[in-house]
Amino acid sequence: VQLQASGGGLVQSGGSLRLACRASGFSLDDYGIAWFRQAPGKEREGVSSISSRDGRAYYADSVKGRFTMSRDKNMVYLQMNSLKPEDTATYYCVTDFEGDGSRWLEAPWYRLDYWGKGTLVTVSS
C-alpha cells in the first residue's frame, strides 16, 4: 500500500488549494480513503473521508462547506476553498483495511494503518 500526497503550498487567507493523493497497492473501490491533518503543536485530526460502501463523502465540521473531497480511479483529491490561517497543517492521505471509511473521522488517528507522507499547507493571514 502506498499513498503519495501532493499539492500543498503557501496561500493567502481566502484562497484555494487542491491536494492530490495517488493510491497504489489497493483499490479505492474496495477500501475507504481519508484526509487527516496535523497543525503544529496539535493532535492529528480527521478532515474528510470517502466511504468505499457508497462513495459518500464525510467532513469535519470545521471544513464543511469549504472543502470537497473526491476520487477518480486511483487518485483522491481535496479541494480547499476559503482557506483560513487555522487550516495551516500538514495534510495526510490515509487508508485502512477495516471499516469503509464512513466513521474514520470519529476514530483516533492511530487506529488507521496506512499513511502517506504529508503535504504542508500554510495559510497566511
- The sheet carrying 75-80 orders its strands as 2-6, 17-24, 75-80, 67-72
> What pLDDT is stored for residue 81 in this prediction?
98
Going by their DSSP bridges, the two strands 2-6 and 17-24 should be labelled as antiparallel
pLDDT at residue 87 in the model: 98
- 3-class SS of residue 123: strand
125 residues of the chain, pLDDT tens digit each = 999 999 999 999 999 999 999 999 999 989 999 999 999 999 999 999 999 999 999 999 999 999 999 999 999 999 999 999 999 999 999 999 999 999 999 989 999 999 999 999 999 99
3-class SS of residue 1: coil
pLDDT at res. 63: 98
Pairing of strands 9-12, 119-124: parallel
Q: How far apart are CA 11 and CA 71, in angstroms?
A: 23
